Structure 1
């Protein structure tokens, strides 16, 4: 019979951030790590961790916002893991969810904390939008700098007109297809 494992999951939003602080000093048997936005749960290491954990294991996460950005995703993930008889432990919040029907207070706490975190994130985005609007009104905010030079845009347009694949062109210029389409629209 195999021993139950403590499986760590760490996530940061971008490649230049690091996960060193997350789960520092916590006993973990195996760790999965994503450097991706938490906007949805379609993250490679998270999906791999969910497939990896077994009955009796514990998924250990630094905090609720590292697992999911919204209440609905968080509740669904914890419920799915608990259905597999996998506990979910959130270190920062000092909460562990086992899915036990005998502990309805844990479910209430998770729902409330996830709701507060989602509200907080919405408020941050709202303040950011307000700040940008004020900066634009004062002529301070100019938006992001152009990704391509005028010569590159000319080359890009010529290659598209010659029938090259937009995906390949975008990749070679290091821009998204959406950005490529924006350059094509701007005449």
Structure 2
């Protein structure tokens, strides 16, 4: 049986359907397979492209993501996803942060950066939700609130 030659697998995510993935896809560069989704990164639930990418990727592959906040918007989720991928024998490369995680290696600075960047993404999402709630309260007070549009920031 021939040994698996690692593929570069791209993952791109936007929070909503009206956002464009072109800039992320360009940042990923040449990939063998690209997984795209337009879904909030607040939680892992419902992120079918992420689940498909994890199922597809094999030991020796490299998962390329433009930025850490595209993979997850919480410290816990980002650590879990990166840990799961590395445990599976995958290299995880974040283009914008210039950080790579490899199986069998430990890089304290990379782990620190992962947690700091995930913390910023989590804070950014919390602030956006707070502003959205303030806007809704103000609209209700003016009598112009028409209800939920069903979109989530993230």
Match of 1:91 in 2: 95
Give yes or no for contact 1:79–1:99 (8 Å, CA) kept in 2: no
The verdict on how the C-alpha distance between 1:145 and 1:83 changes in structure 2, with shifts beyond 3 A counting, is closer
Gaps of 5+ in 1: 148-187
Describe the superposition over 1:113-164 as per-residue Cα deviations: whole angstroms up to 9, x where unpaired: 1012111221222233233334444x1x5222699xxxxxxxxxxxxxxxxx
Residue in 2 that maps onto 1:144: 146
1:31 is matched with 34
Secondary structure in structure 2 of the residue aligned to 1:7: strand
Match of 2:43 in 1: 40
Q: Which residue of 1 aligns with 2:70?
A: 66
CA distance in 1, matches of 2:33, 2:5: 13
Query: For residue 75 of structure 1, what is the aligned residue in structure 2?
Result: 79
Q: How does 1:102-181 map to 2 (within 5 A)?
A: 102-137=106-141, 139=142, 142-144=144-146
**More RCO (CA 8 Å, sep 6+):** 2
CA RMSD of aligned residues (A): 2.3
List gaps (5 residues or longer) in structure 2. 150-154
What TM-score results when the alignment is normalised by the length of structure 2? 0.83
1:30, 1:116 → 2: CA distance? 29
- Which structure has the greater CA radius of gyration? 1
